[in-house]
Amino acid sequence: MEAIITAALLFVVAPAWPQVTQPQRTYPIKRLVPTAFPELPKNLVAELQGRGCTIPQPFTDRKANVIRGEFAKPGQTDWAVLCSMQGSTSTSLLVFWNGSATNSSELAKNPDNPGRIFDWYIRPVDRKFIMEHYRAYGGPKPPPIDHQGIESGGETASVVLYYCRGKWLKLQGAD
């Protein structure tokens, strides 16, 4: 009995073993200058440079996060860009209506989370994508779809941003 009590006391008062921790890996965010995107109109390159923007890249081998599409209405070419401004710790999603540098909207802003893999991406999506994801996952019922939306996502999920009647709707994306 005495041996059991001694063992129990040793368990309670014995110092904990030192824990071995692995050094945390850091993943610097790869950022490209606007001129790295030759498809981007020159007036938008100049505007992004004037704002001090760089375009953060998700952990892939291809350029991303500069897109064009018909986000307001059919036949109008709009541009969307993820912008990290110098000295900022966040990234903004900017939309340039009809390719105009003076007519833009900021749709979202997210912290950059230094040390983690940057996984925010944007891409244009069409009616088929929007309706397939609504049928598969539910979510808010889409209005009549006659132009493109912007899928905005990350590692685990996405949302579709759809411009309708002067405001942005958040529709079901990938889960």
Which pLDDT tens digit goes with each residue over 28-40?
788 899 999 999 9
Q: What is the structure's pLDDT at 30?
A: 87
Residue 11 in domain: no
Beta strands in 66-148 (DSSP E): 66-69, 78-85, 90-96, 104-111, 121-125
Which residue, 161, 154, 48, 53, is CA-closest to 107? 161
- Average pLDDT over the chain, rounded to an integer: 85
Query: How many domains does the structure of the chain reveal?
Result: 1
Residue 26 lies in a domain: no
Q: What's the pLDDT tens digit per position in 56-115?
A: 988 766 789 999 999 999 999 999 999 998 777 889 999 999 999 999 999 988 887 766
Q: Which domain holds residue 135?
A: 31-172
3 occurs within a structural domain: no
Q: Is residue 45 part of a domain?
A: yes
Give domain status of residue 4, yes or no: no
pLDDT on residue 46: 98
Helices (H) and strands (E) in the chain, counts: 3, 10
Give the full edge-to-edge strand order of the sheet including 158-164.
Answer: 121-125, 149-153, 158-164, 167-172
Assess if residue 152 is contained within a domain.
Answer: yes
pTM over 0.85: no
For 9-30, the pLDDT digits (tens) are 444 444 454 555 555 556 678 8
Q: Is residue 162 part of a domain?
A: yes
Q: Tell me, yes or no, whether 20 lies in a domain.
A: no
